[in-house]
Amino acid sequence: MSSRNRFLRLVAVFAVAHFLIALGALLASYSLGMARFDSAGVVEPSVVERLSVGLTDALFQPAVALLDASGPGSRSSVVQWVAVACNSVLWGFALAVVVWRLTLRPTRTPPGRLGPRRGAG
């Protein structure tokens, strides 16, 4: 398998993982918020709710910022799902670049170092 195909596979894995984690965090923050909303008294949000809301806010960027900048008229459900999918692909690409660069083995001799000796002996 070529290195390009491996990189694209890494992007796809990270994009799907991001999509599932982002939707899970959204579901958790919504369900915890609704449970608190239905209570009779004033109840402070739990640590889990605050964490899930923060995770949701972070994982849905920059899609939310772009949708907010485009105005309220472009908020059809198709546009929102496309924005969420593209957001996950963007996150997947960024994470794949980081992992790819960290696991890349140098193929050249670093400057200031001699290569392996040949013919010595």
**What number of other Cβ atoms are within 10 A of residue 56's Cβ?**
21
Neighbours of 75 (CB within 10 A): 12
- Residue 89 in domain: yes
pTM: 0.75
H-assigned helices in 38-116: 47-59, 63-70, 77-103
Domain range holding 63? Answer: 3-103
DSSP class per residue in 54-71: HHHHHHTTTHHHHHHHH-
In a domain, 54, yes or no: yes
Is residue 39, in this structure, part of any structural domain at all?
yes
- The per-residue pLDDT for range 82-107, each reduced to its tens digit, is 989 999 999 999 999 999 999 877 66
Residue type, 35: A
Could you tell me if residue 116 is inside a domain? Answer: no
Q: What six digits make up the tokens of 75?
A: 């908020």
Classify residue 120: in a domain, yes or no.
Answer: no
For residue range 4-57, what is the model confidence (pLDDT) as tens digits?
888 999 999 999 999 999 999 999 999 888 877 777 777 788 898 899 999 999
| pLDDT tens sequence across 71-82 | 776 677 888 889
Q: What is the residue-averaged pLDDT of the chain?
A: 85
